Structure 1
Amino acid sequence: MQKLTVNLWMQGTAGEAGEFYAAALPEAKTEIESRYPTEGLLDFQQPLAGKPLTVSVWVRGTKITLINAGEEFAPNASISMILSFNTDERDVLDATWAALAEGGSVLMPLDTYDFSSRYGWVSDKYGVSWQLMESAEPVSENARVMPCLMFGGQAQNRAAEAIEFYGQVLGAKLESAFPYGQATEVATAESLMFAQFSLAEDAVAAMDSGVRQDFSFTPGVSLEWPCDGQEEIDRVWEALSAVPEAEACGWLTDKFGVSWQIVPSNMGELMERPGAFEHMLNMKKLVINDF
């Protein structure tokens, strides 16, 4: 059962982006999950009154959330989504690539590489980064759609440290790790060329960039983690939050720069309470009794 959810910041385009992904991605569908209220909004949110707030996209059963917001942030390649395909799905892979590449930009051409017989990395027209990969081995269900954290810029060479830290705080378990073996422009020999770890039943990839990057993690892509009860919210929040000025409405930034949304497991139910959205705007860490 999925626990970790990737949230993508959309600059007022969540509705149209949801329709785009439903058509472009394999076995995908979309739904408007929530809307902005018409009252209790901050001034900068007034143009969004009554419009979609969160749009859900399910890709092969994995949920991705699109957040409809302003122009403050945008996705970048520091967190991408890996779509893995079996060898008998090449037509699907190629069709998905063509759809995502239209209006976007290619980061690594769709081609044969040492690590995959068919692979490409593309940033779509909304700035969301996707890695499409053909696998010679059967792909497990939980790894067919998974986020990949690329540690570059100020977070360069901290992938292994991050996985260990997430193990302490969130119970992450390392599944596999492949170091570079020899130094690159910015990576050390011990840095991770690729690693995969699990958070609950969800698969997550991590890597240290092999080349110099002028960007790193931002709230443009955030990771949502549900907690059972206030005590667990308090524990995770205290352990993860490293940038006090970034704390708002359940959002925090950890010591690597990764943005997280730490929410109650019954967040949907809480948001149905009268005035819940306005109450949430006044919180940093979410307090269940204050909804």
Structure 2
Amino acid sequence: MTRATPFLMFQHGKAQAALDFWIETVPGSRIESVERFGPDGPGPEGTILRAHAVIAGQAVMIHDSFITHGFDFTPSWSFFLDVENEAGFDRQFTALSEGGGVLMPPDNYGWSRRFGWLNDRFGVSWQVNLA
């Protein structure tokens, strides 16, 4: 069976910190497996070769690139996070946006009572919606 899985590539060894942050912040998230680069590389020892995780029920793969690229994450790709209540919305929007940047502050934009869009401190984009 052919299957597509979102793949998140980090630079400069940030993958583990991003995973830890998301698992702590987003309900329904967990790390399923982690393979790390060993002493023989090619990446720095201990950084993530391949991790499988679930973020709010969505399976993703994560990797620490040992090659520095001239690009990073773009807001055109994002997690769309439906949150059940105002308190959860406020908590998750605040936590995810801390150290990142708000692209659209929480408001009623006509398609939802409350919606906000942000980049987290790792550069990953999140659209947070009050379901």
TM-score by shorter chain over 0.5: yes
Deviation of 1:31 after TM superposition, in Å, equals 4.7
| Map of 2:28 onto structure 1 | 27
Q: Comparing both chains, which one has the higher relative contact order based on Cα–Cα distances under 8 Å and sequence gaps of 6 or more? A: 2
Q: Match for 1:103: what amino acid?
A: G
1:60 aligns with 2:61: no
The size of the alignment, in residue pairs, is 126
Contact 1:15-1:52 at 8 Å conserved across structures: yes
- 1:171-216 per-residue CA deviation (whole Å, 9 max, x = no partner) reads xxxxxxxxxxxxxxxxxxxxxxxxxxxxxxxxxxxxxxxxxxxxxx
Partner SS for 1:64 = strand
Which amino acid is 1:74 matched to?
Answer: D
- Partners of 2:105 and 2:65 lie apart in 1 by 31
Distance change in 2, residues 1:118/1:37 (3 Å): same
Give the counterpart letter for 1:76 in structure 2. Answer: T
Quote the residue 1:8 is aligned against. Answer: 8
Cα displacement (A) at 1:32: 4.6
- 1:78 is aligned, of 76, 79, 84, to 76
Q: CA deviation at 1:50?
A: 4.3
Structure 1 residue 133 displacement after superposition: 1.2
DSSP 3-state at the match of 2:106: strand
Shift of 1:113: 1.4
Residue 143 of structure 1 corresponds to which residue in structure 2?
Answer: none
1:49 is aligned, of 45, 48, 55, to 45
C-alpha deviation, 1:53, in angstroms: 1.3
Distance 1:103 1:6 in 2: 24
- The equivalences for 1:106-255 within 5 A come to 106-135=102-131
1:122–1:130: 8 Å Cα contact kept in structure 2? yes
1:205-236 Cα offsets, whole Å, 9 max, x none, are xxxxxxxxxxxxxxxxxxxxxxxxxxxxxxxx
Q: What CA distance in whole angstroms lies between the structure 2 residues aligned with 1:84 and 1:113?
A: 15
TM-score, reference length from structure 1: 0.40
Cα RMSD, aligned residues only:
1.9
- The answer to whether the Cα contact below 8 Å between 2:16 and 2:48 also exists between their aligned partners in 1 is yes
Residue of structure 2 in register with 1:94 after alignment: 90
Q: 1:10 Cα shift?
A: 1.1
Residues 48 and 62, structure 2, Cα contact 8 Å, conserved in 1 = no
Tell which structure's C-alpha radius of gyration is larger. Answer: 1
2:9 aligned partner, one-letter code = W
Runs of 4+ in 1 over 6 A off after TM superposition: none
Inter-partner Cα distance in structure 2 for 1:80 and 1:95: 19
Q: Give the direction of change, closer, same or farther, for the CA distance of 1:4–1:62 in structure 2 (3 Å limit).
A: same
Distance 2:19 2:107 in 1: 28
Any stretches of 5+ residues in structure 1 without a counterpart? 136-291
TM normalised by structure 2 equals 0.83
Give the aligned residue type for 1:16.
Answer: A
Q: Deviations over 1:11-41 (max 9, x none)?
A: 1111111101111112222255212243373
